[in-house]
Amino acid sequence: MNALTDVQSGSRALLSGNEAVARAVWEAGATLATAYPGTPSTEILEVLARYPDVDAQWAVNEKVSLEVAIGGSLAGARTFCAMKHVGMNVAADALMSQTLAGVNGGLVIAIADDVGLSSSQNEQDSRYWGRFAHLPILEPADADEARAFTLAAYELSEQFNCPVILRLTTRVCHVKTVVTVGERLTMDNKGFIRDPRRWVMLPSNAKVMLPRQAERDVGLAAHAETSDLTTILPGDDASLGVIASGPAALSVREALPDAPILKLGLTHPIPVARIRAFAETVDQVLVVEETEPLVEQEVRAAGLTVIGKDLLPRHGELSVAVLRHALAVLRGETETPDTVAAAAGPDPTVFPRPPTMCPGCPHLTPFYCLSKLRKALLISGDIGCYTLGAGHPWQAMDTCTCMGASLTLAHGLAAAKGEADAKKGVVAVIGDSTFLHMGMQGLLNLVYNRANVTVMILDNRTVAMTGGQEHPGTGFDIHGDEAPRVDFAALVQAMGVKPERVHAIDPYDLPALFSLIRTETQVPEVSVIITNQPCVLTDRHVPHPALTVDEEACTGCGSCINTGCPAIEVTRRETTVTKAGHKKDLAFVRIDSAFCTGCNACVETCAPDAIVPLAPEAHPRLQRV
């Protein structure tokens, strides 16, 4: 037990949106919850795993996760599934068919949209799934609503016999606020109902379901007109009324405290009659939604005149500053708060501080090697910490699209490369969890089609970018209990990669790794290189004694900086003239021994052997920050 699960019914707790959703799933009596980690949704399942009586499981990908949750619903239990926005692209196959069949136990799917793109490859508006799959969309504005709406979602799911989508955004998931929590409901398992006409989606059965889906649309539209998830926040100034949803509705309230607001909690289907009635009480209507104009278009289709994305941005967060600026533009004020907003943004003269790999990260050397072989390669990347390999100093990534696409894009690059690239080798770089998520199919396809790609599986035994979750390659489950661990070398051989083309290697052995990558990229068939050192942020990583730089010996060549290790720092720069008369910039370095993990990767890059172990007595006995 812990602080979160100990919170007594009726008490106030400071919870994030993710924690509140988890609490509500538990309160709703759900017994099965699944997810694949993805920012900003990850913590929902991590928190759920701490509650008793809920079987929380990491799934290998979102499609698998949703299908397990669907199966649990069919078995008669209330179930739950969480994912980030792009996860539903993977899971959509299951969603689009199950929406016809419906559910047995309540099924709630939380989709977390990364509005503002803090940690994603795109910005999607998941509310489209409501329209596409004929399902209700609930949009809480903060953690307190996230809890209430999750409970309401289970009621709706069972009332309308369909999955319900809880649409979250970063500013719900990662915002903590005060939430009043409740007790867990006692839900009896309904039992599986044997009914192939309902659960077996043969064309003949699905055909019967289509009119029922249309009836459900009508029922949901009627429900939207009375749903208490949609509320009016009264205001005295009727010159402008606002239709808003999600956290943006709260920002509207702050930016425009006197405006009446129709706050939509159920945003698909929209309550057309309520919107019409609201519009009659105000002079003008502004629609504020993140991010696409879904509500706006439906309101316009209903024949109402509104202001929307013609005024407001179509991407990013609709913050108070953005809204104030838009309102000033609307009022035709010349002196807009835009200048205030710009001045309050980050100081543009301060250097950028992009995310970096960690000191001693086992991904440093693979990208160091790839950067040295850059001209001879096309490098296809994937989703994870190692996507940082696209940045400085390595700049060793040519493509990155979506989970698993490193192998398949590499496949296409290798199969169709033109004359200019004919001599280039093609490398796919993917992490352990991403490989299991959606990379395996690509490898099978490579082998089957006798392609020529070198696949690097950077196995750091965790889902690192989302904070270190377990997966089938780690040997542990979400509770930290032992679980069967996949053997990557055996797996790829089972898919047909020749045993002599499969190499497990210690990435800290830089010369061996470099030589292996160079050799395998010249072999005209599928090779798999598996690096085998764990993420330095996990308990599996064992640090070695820290290193330091012998200042007398350092020649300022700067080679070690090219590993990208953030523990290496430049102490001074000089310019010298070589014997051949060329100017040469020198950068003398030190190592911050408090951060150094003693991985020795930089030692191999140092020609004058200036990087040496720190004398044990000089080692600061401090915990690393």
Partner 1 sequence: MAATVTNILLCGIGGQGVLTAAELLARGAVAVGHDVKKTEVAGMAQRGGVVTSHLRFGPEVLAPAIPAGEADILLGFEAAEALRWIGQVREGGAIVVNALHLKPPVVHQGLFDYPDDPIGLMRAKGLTVRTLDARAIAEDLGNLKLVNTIMVGAVADHLPLAPETLRTQIVETFRARKPALADLNGRAFDAGRAAGADASALGEPQVVAG
Q: Are 561 and 590 in contact (CB under 8 A)?
A: no
Partner residues linked to 477 by β-bridges: none
- Residue from 97, 119, 180, 401 touching partner 1 (CB under 8 A): that is 119
Tokens of 42: 């990850």
Which residues in the 30-59 window bind partner 1 by CB under 8 A?
39-40
Which residues in the 442-471 window bind partner 1 by CB under 8 A?
465-467
369 is annotated as contributing to ligand binding: no
Candidate ranges 45-53, 148-156, 289-297, 350-358; the one touching partner 1 (CB under 8 A): 350-358
Phi, psi of 499 (to 5 degrees): -55, -35
Q: Are 92 and 51 in contact (CB under 8 A)?
A: no
- Residue from 71, 92, 176, 284 touching partner 1 (CB under 8 A): that is 176
Q: Does 340 bind partner 1 (CB under 8 A)?
A: yes
Distance CA 520, CA 527 (A): 6
Minimum CB distance to partner 1, residue 323 (Å)? 9
Q: Does 8 bind partner 1 (CB under 8 A)?
A: no
Q: Does 354 bind partner 1 (CB under 8 A)?
A: yes
Distance CA 531, CA 460 (A): 8
554 is annotated as contributing to ligand binding: yes
Q: Does 324 bind partner 1 (CB under 8 A)?
A: yes
- Site for partner 1 (CB under 8 A): how many residues? 73
Tokens of 616: 């044990």
Q: Does 3 bind partner 1 (CB under 8 A)?
A: yes
CA 615 vs. chain centroid, Å, equals 42
Query: Which of residues 355 and 524 has its CB atom nearest to partner 1 in the complex?
Result: 355
Minimum CB distance to partner 1, residue 559 (Å)? 12
CA 445 vs. chain centroid, Å, equals 26
Residue closest to 308 by CA, chosen among 252, 253, 265, 254? 252
The count of C-alpha atoms lying within 13 angstroms of the C-alpha of 357, restricted to the half-sphere facing its C-beta, is 31
162 is annotated as contributing to ligand binding: no
- Residue from 89, 97, 161, 177 touching partner 1 (CB under 8 A): that is 177
400 is annotated as contributing to ligand binding: no
Q: Does 142 bind partner 1 (CB under 8 A)?
A: yes
Burial class (CB in 10 A: 0-12, 13-18, 19+), 3: exposed
Which residues in the 364-423 window bind partner 1 by CB under 8 A?
385, 388, 392-393
Minimum CB distance to partner 1, residue 558 (Å)? 8
- Check residue 467 and give left, alpha or beta (phi > 0: left; psi -120 to 50: alpha): left
Minimum CB distance to partner 1, residue 624 (Å)? 7
- Residue from 67, 145, 296, 317 touching partner 1 (CB under 8 A): that is 317
Q: Are 606 and 538 in contact (CB under 8 A)?
A: no
- Residue from 188, 305, 310, 344 touching partner 1 (CB under 8 A): that is 344
**Biggest alpha carbon–alpha carbon distance for the chain:** 86
Q: Does 424 bind partner 1 (CB under 8 A)?
A: no
606 is annotated as contributing to ligand binding: yes
Residues 6+ apart with CB under 8 A from 69: 32, 33, 34, 79, 80, 81, 107, 109
Minimum CB distance to partner 1, residue 49 (Å)? 18
Q: Does 10 bind partner 1 (CB under 8 A)?
A: no
Query: Which of residues 394 and 488 has its CB atom nearest to partner 1 in the complex?
Result: 394
Q: Does 116 bind partner 1 (CB under 8 A)?
A: yes
Query: Which of residues 364 and 491 has its CB atom nearest to partner 1 in the complex?
Result: 364
Tokens of 121: 């490859």
Q: Are 469 and 384 in contact (CB under 8 A)?
A: no
Minimum CB distance to partner 1, residue 171 (Å)? 5
Task: Tell me, residue by residue from 225 to 264, as one string, x for binding to partner 1 by CB under 8 A and - for no binding.
Answer: ----------------------x--xx-xxx-x-------
Minimum CB distance to partner 1, residue 84 (Å)? 10
Minimum CB distance to partner 1, residue 156 (Å)? 26
Minimum CB distance to partner 1, residue 468 (Å)? 10
Tokens of 115: 């509005």
Candidate ranges 97-105, 127-135, 149-157, 168-176; the one touching partner 1 (CB under 8 A): 168-176
Distance CA 505, CA 513 (A): 7
Q: Does 321 bind partner 1 (CB under 8 A)?
A: yes
Could you give the 3-state DSSP secondary structure of residue 574? strand
Candidate ranges 29-37, 263-271, 290-298, 590-598; the one touching partner 1 (CB under 8 A): 590-598
What Å distances lie between residue 307 and 188, 240, 275, 289, 327, CA to CA?
A: 48, 10, 14, 12, 11
- Residue from 570, 576, 584, 608 touching partner 1 (CB under 8 A): that is 570
Query: Which of residues 211 and 346 has its CB atom nearest to partner 1 in the complex?
Result: 346
Q: Does 583 bind partner 1 (CB under 8 A)?
A: no
For the chain, report the end-to-end CA distance as a whole number of angstroms: 27
Query: Which of residues 43 and 604 has its CB atom nearest to partner 1 in the complex?
Result: 43
Q: Does 194 bind partner 1 (CB under 8 A)?
A: no
Tokens of 292: 């696409």
Minimum CB distance to partner 1, residue 313 (Å)? 15
CA 217 vs. chain centroid, Å, equals 31
| Angle made by CA atoms 246, 250, 253, in degrees to the nearest 5 | 135
Which residues in the 504-543 window bind partner 1 by CB under 8 A?
none
Query: Which of residues 311 and 341 has its CB atom nearest to partner 1 in the complex?
Result: 341
Residues 6+ apart with CB under 8 A from 467: 37, 42
Tokens of 414: 């290798």
Segment (H or E) for 380: strand 377-380
Minimum CB distance to partner 1, residue 322 (Å)? 9
Residue closest to 586 by CA, chosen among 619, 557, 551, 548? 557
Residues 6+ apart with CB under 8 A from 9: 181, 182, 183
Query: Which of residues 351 and 420 has its CB atom nearest to partner 1 in the complex?
Result: 351
Residues 6+ apart with CB under 8 A from 375: none
Distance CA 230, CA 218 (A): 18
557 is annotated as contributing to ligand binding: yes
Phi, psi of 510 (to 5 degrees): -60, -50
Query: Which of residues 466 and 474 has its CB atom nearest to partner 1 in the complex?
Result: 466
Tokens of 283: 């002079």
Minimum CB distance to partner 1, residue 411 (Å)? 28
Query: Which of residues 187 and 232 has its CB atom nearest to partner 1 in the complex?
Result: 232
Annotation: binding site? 554, 557, 560, 565, 596, 599, 602, 606
Sequence ranges of the binding site for [4Fe-4S] cluster: 554, 557, 560, 565, 596, 599, 602, 606
